[in-house]
Structure 1
């Protein structure tokens, strides 16, 4: 029986018209087959040259190159007979290289006896004290076929190339022959070319049918063959080699399969134990916090969108910070369904036309809050702006001034709400008025408690004037965008993330794409943290699970007292699940990075550079190498999850695009109705209307609190508003 393997082939996809030129070569051992070829190691990989030769074959131009290696195992009795004949041949050649004959005594029939003695511990049947042959001499006689040689195979090695030009066929054949030159050792392969038509026909018959009829006997051992029969190693870098992508443990046998269940979160396509690919999933009860790492454009956002859409259709509340707005545009057709549209909120700050409808958010609003919430509002606004400005602890005066300003305005807003005048609340833009308009501030100070007034009357005048511009700089940046003016410039908030949590809203937030994005994102993420902590007032069993995704964590993180760490450590207690995405975990602050990794129940990475890959691989205790991560194809991930309360080993996942996994939800015709529903859900107003009201808001606030407005600016007449 013949075992045939065409282990290197470059095939023609379709027949190419024109003449064909064929080169045929059979490789045969140049010397006796007891002399061995060079044993092939792993470095360099012997398949490197062969793979490189195959890679150069131009299949589109009709070239074709094939190497066929036929193997037939040699039976042990045939191998033993071969050894005896080789030893007999050595005897006829006379003394060995060591000056001793292989047999002792003078009898001519001692060969078999000596051979037996050599492998029986020195005993002979006749009991004569003859000199035994040395094992070195026996090895010289039998060559590579000594008893420890292992398996031996008969070999037929055929090479065939084909091209439309004779020189091209010859060039491809020479490349194949060069690839086998690495086997040259005590023995070597010699090419034999069939010359006559009969020989060529015989060659082709053996080549295509697998008939085993080598031109001469040639037996090879495993060390001589293994280099060509093994898979390519990492040392084989030819472009024609298909890579496995590295060794990764298989997916857990009990990994759930997602078919739309409410208690599952889809992960992507996973190959299960039976070899079939299904949509793997994590259980909602196990997925509390997730960290997704890897290069930009390799599928982190797409995977997050799949999860967000799945959970939205399952009735959960979701919050998606989409810095570029592309994710929202992809998600809209899949959310345009009657059972979802009443819950959808869109905060899109990329448009600034006067008639564009926008929602508003006042981070200083006190509607629905008691006076005890002032400290949380102050912390959220201060840390958000400080984080965006990267103040850290290097600007203590600016941080203090900002906190004190936010405290004063929040207290004034609480008074306005309690008086039934929420439209007289201050916004972020009144922070600038408070710090730069002394007369306006002094009139409003009379409405604040003495403990608050003391700071502004005694401490603030002593601070250097250069501290104030540091604070107002952030507000000045927001003031450059009409969309941001409208979003932050209304006294009353249509956007309230605490309401979104409690009523399972589906929220997409898309900043403007301007230089102020960092301020917007930091304010939003800090407010998310504040709102999550505020759920302490709700019994645990009444808290609706709320999912939040934050992209570009590196841009959100800074020296702001570790708010991302606080999210990972605290919000799970209040049924807020956070999934963070970033390209470079090593750029996160140490406290944030440690908290994210300590508390994650899903760790996922797509391709990354070596340093990032090594960082992630260490978290998996050597189950995956950094090289495996760096070579991941686009939209492929390695991830580990918590399953039934226990961390799994990492396994492979192929990312699925939204249109593939949720094709049944695609409803582009429903997008106009969704937009109309969002206008109603968020009470969106035209930008021009909000900006007009913002121009007079300082006067409205002053009128409400002191009864009249008598502000005098440089060059402006005194104005009274009744």
Structure 2
């Protein structure tokens, strides 16, 4: 049996054909001294392959150069090795006292040198009955057999070592060969490797035949032990930093043998390309019932958003409701052609705050809308609006007066909206912008107070006037910020709300929210996250069997967490039982708030990372109990991940996944021609209106609300001027 190890830096075929003549250097390396004398035993630091890899890296493949090192190994049988040892001992005896320090008496028959040697290797006694003889020293015996000492030799191999370089210029071929020889000079010890160049035509032909076919016919016998060969037979270590070394990427456990394969099944969530135990690459998947919450980490531009888009599109085509918070809008632009299908279009919603042209059709959301709600929902509406605005403004516990005023104002407007809905005046509902009017325009507020219950009026008539005047600007500052953006005025300025996340959950809508271009992204994201949490909890009144599974993805989780102030943690802790699944993506888990990070890690059933900084990589690696090193994570190629999932109710060990782009995995869904029809469907689904129309309605909304509830219109003299009374 022959084993062959090749080190090759090949030239490209096209370049080689472009040169009319090739110059070749051939060398066979053989032991210069008797083979019982050892070469140097090479350690791991420095890596013996460093010089060899550097020599290969210098080969210019673009110029048609090529370099090869072939090491052929044949195991030496133990019987041949034993005969070799006996032969070496016989030669040592013939050399006399200089071999051992004392002469060995007798012949190779009974009682002579050979029996003395056997006695020395078996405890120091002879089996003969004659006069005692002085035994040779053990060091002398080891000197005699050299590296073939039975106590240290281990496996022994017959070796054939061939070097070959090729170039378009003779000096280039010679230079490459000299670099290879320099790499092997590190083996010089008691023995060393001597280069032999075939000179005659017959020897050149013989060399080439051995090189091509693997025929084992070395120049002479040369046996090497594992310590002499090991440095060239192992893979490159981290100490070998030559550019020509292809890295394995570190040690990662294999994928579970029972990992599901995704082919479009409704109950599976695609993860990416995974190498299965049989060596074949397939699209691995997690089961819907196992995947509750997930965290995807790693550098920007390495595929986190792409992986989330693949999952979102897959779930949308499987009939699930989805919600994707895409701060920059890039994900929605990529996903759109893959959702432009007749069976999905009626379910698609697009909330894009980057659109603010007067004739641009946009959807609106009124967080204070009571359409489709009852009196019992008022407290949830008040809480969602108050917590969202307070979190976005980072009030915390330092602004109790502002929080109280905001909550009371939201309560009053929600109660007025309930009355408007009950009287079928849906267009007379208050929006967030009426919070400012309520707090700053006493002439507008006073008539409306008479429409509210006495317990609500008492606060505004007795407590509110006593509060310091500086508390009100703290609250109205938020609406002042919203007023600087036409896109936000259009989004929050309509009395009727087309965006309703509770409806989206119950009817399996496909929702993409893109707050890009907004001056108040934090506020928008806060309100959206709080509303998602509120809508999830509101499913308590829906029977468990009737709760449709709803998937939510949040990109740029660090910014989202900074504004949501704990509600991401609440989602991960509370919404599982209401069939709401959440997967977050962020570059740096260490920048998440402690409560959010702990909650997501505690409840996650998918933990994935692409390449990351060492500190982030070490943080993730600790979660996998040493199965993956931080260095492995830091060196992951682009669009490659290490992830663990929950499978059949148990967490798996981490395994490798190659990310698949949307166009590769869902090429059969790509329908760019259907995008115009999808846009029209979204217009219908969300009752989208032109920005200019919404802004015009917002200008007169205060007057319309006052007129509906009191029959009066605001303006100069409105409080007592009978001309303002509406019949």
Question: Normalising TM by the smaller chain, what interval?
Answer: over 0.9
1:374-453 map, 5 Å: 374-453=378-457
Whether 1:332 aligns to 2:336 is: yes
Mapped partners of 1:22, 1:499: distance in 2 = 76
Q: Aligned in 2, Cα 1:108/1:289: closer, same or farther, shift over 3 Å? A: closer
CA contact (8 A) 2:431 2:492 kept: yes
CA contact (8 A) 1:20 1:165 kept: yes
Whether 1:140 aligns to 2:148 is: no
1:198-251 residue CA offsets vs partner (Å, 9 max, x unmatched): 443433333233333323332110110011011112222222111111111111
Per the alignment, residue 87 of structure 1 pairs with 89
CA contact (8 A) 1:709 1:721 kept: yes
Query: How far did residue 514 of structure 1 move?
Result: 2.8
1:42 maps to which of 35, 41, 44: 44
Query: How far did residue 697 of structure 1 move?
Result: 0.7
Q: Aligned in 2, Cα 1:248/1:451: closer, same or farther, shift over 3 Å? A: same
Per the alignment, residue 278 of structure 2 pairs with 274
Comparing 231-240 with 533-542, greater Cα deviation is found at: 231-240
Partner secondary structure for residue 558 of structure 1: helix
Q: Aligned in 2, Cα 1:254/1:539: closer, same or farther, shift over 3 Å? A: same
CA contact (8 A) 2:525 2:563 kept: no
Query: How far did residue 349 of structure 1 move?
Result: 1.6
Partner secondary structure for residue 13 of structure 2: coil
Per the alignment, residue 226 of structure 2 pairs with 222
Whether 1:19 aligns to 2:27 is: no
Whether 1:357 aligns to 2:361 is: yes
Partner secondary structure for residue 562 of structure 2: coil
Query: How far did residue 357 of structure 1 move?
Result: 0.8
Query: How far did residue 473 of structure 1 move?
Result: 2.6
Per the alignment, residue 301 of structure 1 pairs with 305
TM-score by length of 2: 0.94
CA contact (8 A) 2:553 2:584 kept: yes
CA contact (8 A) 1:387 1:556 kept: no
Comparing 23-32 with 615-624, greater Cα deviation is found at: 23-32
Mapped partners of 1:319, 1:719: distance in 2 = 50
Per the alignment, residue 115 of structure 1 pairs with 117
Q: Aligned in 2, Cα 1:713/1:299: closer, same or farther, shift over 3 Å? A: farther
Mapped partners of 2:723, 2:622: distance in 1 = 68
Per the alignment, residue 54 of structure 1 pairs with 56
For structure 2, the residue ranges without an aligned partner over 5 or more in a row are: none
CA contact (8 A) 2:111 2:128 kept: no
CA contact (8 A) 1:617 1:625 kept: yes
Mapped partners of 2:518, 2:686: distance in 1 = 23
Mapped partners of 1:485, 1:440: distance in 2 = 21
Partner secondary structure for residue 724 of structure 2: coil
Comparing 616-625 with 19-28, greater Cα deviation is found at: 19-28
1:551 maps to which of 555, 560, 568: 555
Mapped partners of 1:543, 1:121: distance in 2 = 82
Partner secondary structure for residue 97 of structure 2: coil
Q: Aligned in 2, Cα 1:213/1:107: closer, same or farther, shift over 3 Å? A: closer
Per the alignment, residue 674 of structure 1 pairs with 678
Q: Aligned in 2, Cα 1:721/1:323: closer, same or farther, shift over 3 Å? A: farther
TM-score by length of 1: 0.95
2:238 maps to which of 234, 240, 247: 234
RMSD: 2.4
Per the alignment, residue 31 of structure 1 pairs with 33
Q: How many residues align?
A: 720
Per the alignment, residue 348 of structure 1 pairs with 352
Per the alignment, residue 182 of structure 1 pairs with 186
Query: How far did residue 3 of structure 1 move?
Result: 3.2
For structure 1, the residue ranges without an aligned partner over 5 or more in a row are: none
1:42-71 residue CA offsets vs partner (Å, 9 max, x unmatched): 222211111111111111101111111122
2:660 maps to which of 644, 647, 656: 656
CA contact (8 A) 1:86 1:142 kept: yes
Mapped partners of 2:75, 2:129: distance in 1 = 38
Partner secondary structure for residue 147 of structure 1: coil
Query: How far did residue 474 of structure 1 move?
Result: 2.4
1:497 maps to which of 477, 495, 501: 501
